[in-house]
Amino acid sequence: MIALAIIALLTIAAASAAFLLRNLIHSALLLVGAWAGIAAFYLWAGAEFVAFAQVLVYVGAVSMVVLFAVLLTRQGATTAPVEYDSLKRAVLGFITAGGVGGLLFGAILGSPLDVHTANPAPAVSVKELGLLLMGPHAAALLIVGVLLTVALLGAVVIAAVDKPEDAP
């Protein structure tokens, strides 16, 4: 419980600081910290393989893609901070998020959750996970593979520079 509270506090602090800062690089790096905190939560819950997948995909790959996008879309060579947007927009965003949060909190604290607290952390080994992926969920695995291939090809096509055609 204590460990969970510490992980939650650090993760939420990193995520909120990321959206309050004005420097995009700092925001991206703080979000990497938040993703690492989520991976720590997976480790705490006993889902080791998912934690390693989170570290590989988010802390490793997505963060690099985000940093590349930040550097490629910079205005000029300056490290000018992003200006804050209109106050109205920020206030409306916070009101909406607060309303959604209030609804969720009320629903969570008000529902009678039947919890099996006594049992130890469930252990699903990597071998069992692999058998599950290759056996009953093989179709989903293949579909995800095709989806990733198509999405990455599409990303390359969208982001590629279209060269001017040579005059005949």
Partner 1 sequence: MSPLQLCLLFSSLLFCVGLAGALSRSNTILVLLGIELMLNAANLNFIAFWRYGPHPEAGTGLLFVLFAIAVAAAEAAVGLALIIAIHRHRKTIRLQEANSLKG
Of 85 and 166, nearer to partner 1 (C-beta) is 85
- Count of residues interacting with partner 1 (CB under 8 A): 78
User: x/- string (CB under 8 A) for partner 1, residues 98-117?
Assistant: x-xx--xx--xx---x-xxx
Q: What residues contact residue 110 under an 8 Å CB cut-off, 6+ apart?
A: none
Rule CB under 8 A: say whether 36 interacts with partner 1: no
Rule CB under 8 A: say whether 127 interacts with partner 1: no
How far is Cα 70 from Cα 64, in angstroms, rounded to an integer?
10
Rule CB under 8 A: say whether 27 interacts with partner 1: yes
User: x/- string (CB under 8 A) for partner 1, residues 37-76?
Assistant: -x--xx--xxx-xx--xx--xx--xx--xx-xxx-xx-x-
Length of the chain: 168
How far is Cα 168 from Cα 162, in angstroms, rounded to an integer?
17
Residue 31: CB minimum distance to partner 1, A: 6
Nearest to 54 by CA among 25, 69, 27, 32: 32
Residue 24: CB minimum distance to partner 1, A: 6
Residue 131: CB minimum distance to partner 1, A: 10
Kind and range of the H or E run holding 103: helix 87-110
Of the residues 6, 26, 80, 93, which one makes contact with partner 1 according to CB under 8 A: 93
Rule CB under 8 A: say whether 146 interacts with partner 1: no
How far is Cα 81 from Cα 57, in angstroms, rounded to an integer?
28
How far is Cα 153 from Cα 137, in angstroms, rounded to an integer?
25
